[in-house]
Structure 1
Amino acid sequence: MNYKFTIIVPVYNEEDNLERVEKELLAYTKIASLPTKILFVNDGSKDSSQQLIEDICNRNAAFNYILFEANRGLSAAIKAGFDYADTELVGYIDSDLQTAPEDFNLLLKHIDTYDLVTGVRADRKDSFVKNMSSKIANGIRRAFTKDGMDDTGCPLKVIKTEYAKRIPMFKGLHRFLPAMILLQNGKVTQIPVRHFPRIAGTAKFGLWNRLLGPLMDCFAYLWMKKKYINYTVSKQG
């Protein structure tokens, strides 16, 4: 099949979720607005996630995987997905499925006009502490980056692959994807998507990851913005 869209699924110790991930993503491939394939990125899971991923890929032609030899974090998993993607569009969704794969179709409606389309979680089903720390972190990041995005932590995004592959990722930078597209003079927008409570597995982020870590990452972003190289080739011989 001539696939047009790759969905990256970062995985770290999600054995309790993967059966549902297979079911929901397989169902989505049948209603997707573009021919779609799935790329699991196993971030060095220590449970049975890898065996489950291989079983899923063996019985579904549109599913594939890469496995890290050790845990490297969410940003590294997303970056590897960008590196290995061979379709014109790439997106990602968390393996906890707190967002719905079907909502990719809402984002894909706008990708002809924009270079990144991100979801913004409406009516979030998280705890008060998680919601407030996320809201504060987003406010701090927005003040630093001026990207105008309300919820860059939303794990539902679609990006033109040519832009995604030019993002110089480092740990924590997955929160700055819209800002990194803007550095390339690309266009970004956000679209409301549904949000659901986690029903299996364990959350990988605490207060440090959601609030204090992102504050430190803002300074890393400012350094990168100052040093960022961007060019356009006008002619080639």
Structure 2
Amino acid sequence: MRILRHAVAGGQSAAVHSGVTATRAAVCVTLDGDGQNPPSDLPLLWRPLLDDPDQKIGLVAGQRVGRQDTQAKKLASRFANALRGWMLKDGTRDAGCGMKGFRRETFLALPYFNHMHRYLPALFKAQGWTIVHVDVSHAPRESGQSKYTNIGRAAVGVWDLLGVAWLIKRAKTVRPEDETS
């Protein structure tokens, strides 16, 4: 096990990016540290990637079932996911779930920016990857607290959503094919 630490708080996207950059594993999975998702669900995220002989799956995205959040948070999330889904057309009903699985190299090829963790399904899809959705369990928060209010998340999210929509419109999905014999 390796322990990484940022000198100053950089947010979830920075933490995920630093962890993926530092890992030596070909497949990575993410799990929030608040205890809301059980680690026993992690195999749901890596199995599809390991069972994909053609390596067409770019992302396995967890989608929370039986959400254990306040009604206000669930309503705000439902609205945000509907708006994001309408604009980005990524087919994801719960982009806010912290449980994700992906290949290290495909993640590191994505554009890196603050709050990118909320847009991984759209970013992977824009690069031509298949997205697989799996249902994962959800429990009340055990530790920590959310860094955003619904209003704060919406204020940041509007700019991010516009920026990601622009990135997707400009995305290139051409990949080289090795013709070496």
Relative to the length of structure 1, the TM-score reads 0.69
Partner letter of residue 188 of structure 1?
Answer: I
The equivalent residue for 1:78 is 16
Partner letter of residue 120 of structure 2?
Answer: L
For 2:48, what is the secondary structure of its paired residue? Answer: coil
- More displaced 10-residue stretch of structure 1: 121-130 or 160-169: 160-169
| CA-to-aligned-CA distance 1:187-209 (integer Å, 9 cap, x gap) | 10111110000123322221134
How far is 1:216 from its partner?
2.0
Q: Which has the larger radius of gyration?
A: 1
14, 33, 38: which is aligned to 1:100? Answer: 38
How far is 1:173 from its partner?
1.5
Relative to the length of structure 2, the TM-score reads 0.89
The equivalent residue for 1:58 is none
Distance 1:170 1:208 in 2: 21
Unaligned runs of 5+ in 1: 1-62
Distance 1:208 1:69 in 2: 28
Partner letter of residue 90 of structure 1?
Answer: C
Partner letter of residue 130 of structure 1?
Answer: K
Partner letter of residue 86 of structure 1?
Answer: R
For 1:68, what is the secondary structure of its paired residue? Answer: coil
Q: Does 1:198 align with 2:133?
A: no
- Residue 90 of structure 2 contacts residue 122 of structure 2 at CA under 8 Å; is this kept in 1? yes
Distance 1:107 1:221 in 2: 24
- Relative contact order (alpha carbons < 8 A, sep ≥ 6): 1 or 2 greater? 2
Whose strand fraction is larger, Structure 1's or Structure 2's? 1
For 1:115, what is the secondary structure of its paired residue? Answer: strand
The equivalent residue for 1:117 is 60
CA RMSD, 1 decimal: 1.7
| CA-to-aligned-CA distance 1:6-58 (integer Å, 9 cap, x gap) | xxxxxxxxxxxxxxxxxxxxxxxxxxxxxxxxxxxxxxxxxxxxxxxxxxxxx
**How many pairs align?**
175
